Structure 1
Amino acid sequence: MATDALTLTDVHSYYGDSHVLQGVSFSLKAGEVLALLGRNGAGKTTCISTVVGFLTPRRGEIRLFGEPISGLTPEAICRRGIGLVPQGRRIFPSLTVRENLIVARRSGDGSRKPWSLERIYDLFPRLRERHGQLAGSLSGGEQQMLALGRALMGNPRVLLLDEPSEGLAPLIVAEVGRTIALLKSEGQSIVLVEQNSNLALDLADQVVILTTGQCVFDGGIDEIRANEAVLTQNLGVFQGH
């Protein structure tokens, strides 16, 4: 049986004395998209921060393709193949578009076609047009493309996307969705944190819903679409699919 791309087992994370993640467990299959959903404050970003090493879990285990990574530094976790597009984008505003991409360059593991500067420019032609422009002067949508491109330049085995559509106009949100769908079609393993549940459900193979730091749903996309009560109760939304 194939090894899962990312596995969390009974993960507990704290901010000081505040017990935020309370026994979170889920697995991302290789080449699939897992949508991590929940209301504000449910623990989604804390979960992402724990996976990338910004927070060290007090209990539990995180594995990347079977290899334990919990407790490693963020740099070591990145080198092992976790890529992050953080909430709020966090591009380097005083560097050019090209410099933002080059600084993140890391060779891949050879399992898929590697990401290069030219491939990123082919994916996002607007970044090619603005390659010499300071990143801080880009529009919000262009900055999100740059944040995605920067993460891909690290040739990640697993890509974590934390609220990639936040604050973007609907046309740009649709473009972000198309990009994620393209990455999925190329076999990229993705964890997608999204408030835009329609976007998330359109892209996901699997859905995990967090409420107050605990998993209250973990199942396939067809299962969640058939369970409107779970969506309404935990997300406050009704899906018309």
Structure 2
Amino acid sequence: VAILGFPLGVAVFPGLAVWLTGELGWRMAWGAIALALGVFLIPLLLWLLKGHSVRHKNFVAQTEGEAGAVVSQHRRRQWSRAEVLRDPRFYLICIAITAPSFISTGLFFHQAHLAAAKGWTMAWMASAFVAYTVGAIGSNLAFGPLIDRFGARRLLPYYLYPLVLTCLTILCFDHPLSAIALTLFLGLTSGSGQTLVGAAWPEFYGVLHLGAIRAMVISTSVGASALSPFILGWLIDRGATMEVIAVGFLVYLTVAIGGIMLA
């Protein structure tokens, strides 16, 4: 529930950005966004985080006490960042969790080219992203109880399957309704991943050094997001069709799903 703001933003802000650009021009629209960040959102964030340092210190003290106590043999090991970096499973998992960042960012960045290649208008493409929000919120809410029941580790391979369907949609269909399908599938992977991946790391490596471990993972995902527009743009400039790119994505996803299963 706590991360539903992201898919809601995906639904609301594209239309808001189009409206602001039409009313103010693109330069003033960026200025209005910067003003909103500085005047409203940053102060709100600081207010919401009030007292967080005290809560975090209490949490760390409790966790360290549990880790140092004489507990049952079923107590989960608390891995350090150095230990995680020496664990081959970490790299197998990273291959998988960077796939949504790489593929989704690439498709978002080059959505105009995708729409032109499929014969869709940009207005239709933008409206199709409502399906992304529906998929993200639905999978977000669905995977929470599933994680509580089955554990994130067991469910991790399955969150990439909607991304496979996204690529198959690009590969096989040109109908305007397929834009809704592919954004829906993107949303399903995004929403389930936001819930699932965050819950999986404690199951693999414990919670004591979770911040350091997640920092490495997020850096990897950000790097994948940064590389994707460049790589896809380079391929498009050299004549690669979106269907060929989708085949490449499918190969990547096959390796990623296999890596998760081995981990």
TM-based fold match above 0.5: no
Q: Which has the higher helix share?
A: 2
TM-score with structure 2 setting the length: 0.21
Q: Which has the higher strand share?
A: 1
TM-score with structure 1 setting the length: 0.22
Higher RCO (C-alpha under 8 Å, 6+ residues apart): 2
